[in-house]
Amino acid sequence: MEIQGHRRRGLVLVPWLMQGHINPMLQLGTILHSKGFSITIAHTQLNSPDTCSSYPDFVFLPLLSDVSSSQGNGSDDFSGQISNLNSNCKAPLQELLTQIVLKKQEQHEEPPCIIYDPMMYYVKAVAHHLKLPSILFRTSCATNMLSWYVCPGIQKEGYTPFQDFKSLELVPGLHPLRFKDLPVIPNSDVKILDALRQLVTCVQNIGTTSAIIFNSMDCLEQSSLAQLQQKCQVPIFSIGPMHKLAPAASSISLLEEDRSCITWLDKQAPNSVIYVSLGSVASVNEKELAEMAWGLANSKQSFLWVLRPGLVRGSESMDVLSDDLKISIGERGCIVKWAPQKEVLAHSAVGGFWSHCGWNSTIESISEGVPMICRPFFGDQKINTGYLSHVWRVGIELENDLEREEIERVIRRLMLENEGEEMRQRAADLKLKIKLFSKQSSKTRDRDLEKQGDRFHRLM
């Protein structure tokens, strides 16, 4: 698509500072760069990606602001931190974009288009002020966004959004999901819920944004994507799975990947290892960690476990396992601080994934045909769990308090029993479906983007 060495219009990408948001934004950047666009990443100083060698073709510009109090760590003050970061970054982004626009004018080039994460909702006001086109990139599934449209309706019927539902009843307007699959914010008091409701309204208001991009596929969420297209007045593009479409995109890990686990996996039998990782934000208390460890040890299955710094609330130390546990685990467990997850999931030794079900982990796992144990914590993770366990039926949900006997049972169900084998077969089928869809849509995607979009290209 690149026209005789000339780059298309410049794109400025503004990611949210969490690992699960940075990864897909860089993948999108890689895909669009391969189509001839030049890419600038405007990122926060906090969690500033170490970019020197990974993306030589991108320009990385830090938003110089005081963000020390604005960490995105999933704590109760999360909404306050988001709004701090949004007010702190507004002026620096405006200044940076003004400079870019002036430079483009001098060079008689078109002004840039902005692609932003909705958590950085201030961007749309800046883009509007500078009369620049902007596109929203949502890193969670389309159904998560749809649920925000549906929640006010069910609120009228007396339900409170973000609370923990148990009901298996289907949610009107969100089939095939059930009330229990709706997003939940744990331990929320009324003040936090109110702040979050305001935040949702703010993030949901797409304002003058020209289009929305999802890291998803029709073959996963056809109904939600179609419904959203009706509700939002702008074109919706589902381009996924991005980590497969942009294989050259190395992840920029905020923590160093420990590759010794791949050497360890190489020595294990096919489908014998359960991979355990709760992503970059979720955390457990010490008691829950001990229950996880004993459940894994007692299951007698081999496991690779990511014990990242910050996983255990209130403990910075990584030496959290007792001597008894270490003896009981023996050679069966490999524990690392951070793993090359995509490579781990593609490894033939991995037969299951115990996950918090962030959207990236979800699509990375199903793209490799790995069945899952689902232990969602907050936000979109419940929706993803609903899809995995109830709709695609490639996962077992681990419900209730974390207890070693239940954990042991669930691991054995997934790794050793017929039920797990059937899930592995369905996961293999889903992998194939995604691959075929992806292959077929890569042929039609460019054509559709040109057609739908000439709209898309005109926007940029």
Judge whether 130 and 101 are in contact, CB under 8 Å. yes
Spell out, one character per residue from 290 to 329, where the chain touches ligand UDX: x when CB under 6 A holds, - when not.
----------------x-----------------------
Q: What is the DSSP string of 91-151?
A: HHHHHHHHHHHHHHHHTT-PPPEEEE-TTSTHHHHHHHHTT--EEEEE-S-HHHHHHHHHH
**Listed ranges 127-135, 177-185, 333-341, 416-424: which one lies at the site for ligand UDX (CB under 6 A):** 333-341
Q: Does 224 bind ligand UDX (CB under 6 A)?
A: no
Residues 11-30 that bind ligand UDX (CB under 6 A): 18-21, 23
Judge whether 306 and 336 are in contact, CB under 8 Å. yes
Helix, strand and coil in the chain, % to nearest 5: 45, 15, 40
Residues 86-105 that bind ligand UDX (CB under 6 A): none
Q: Is the dihedral of CA 458, 455, 364, 378 positive or negative?
A: positive
Helix (H) or strand (E) holding 363: helix 359-367
**Listed ranges 35-43, 86-94, 355-363, 442-450: which one lies at the site for ligand UDX (CB under 6 A):** 355-363
Residue 315: phi and psi, rounded to 5, are: -135, 120
d(CA 278, CA 361): 9
Q: Does 359 bind ligand UDX (CB under 6 A)?
A: yes
Give me the helix-helix angle, 359-367 and 19-34, nearest 10°. Answer: 60
Q: Which of 117, 243, 356, 380 is catalytic?
A: 117
Judge whether 373 and 410 are in contact, CB under 8 Å. yes
Nearest residue to ligand UDX, scored by beta-carbon proximity: 20
Instruction: For the CB of residue 63, give the shortest distance to ligand UDX in the complex, in Å.
Output: 20
Residues 361-380 that bind ligand UDX (CB under 6 A): 361, 364, 379-380
Q: Which is nearer to ligand UDX, 10 or 279 (CB)?
A: 279
| Catalytic status, residue 319 | no
| Catalytic status, residue 117 | yes
Both structure tokens of 28: 């999108």
Q: Which is nearer to ligand UDX, 41 or 96 (CB)?
A: 41
d(CA 293, CA 302): 12
Spell out, one character per residue from 248 to 287, where the chain touches ligand UDX: x when CB under 6 A holds, - when not.
---x-x-----------------------x-xxxx-----
Interface residues with ligand UDX (CB under 6 A) are 18-21, 23, 139-140, 251, 253, 277, 279-282, 306, 338-339, 341-342, 358-361, 364, 379-381
Give the catalytic positions in this structure. 21, 117
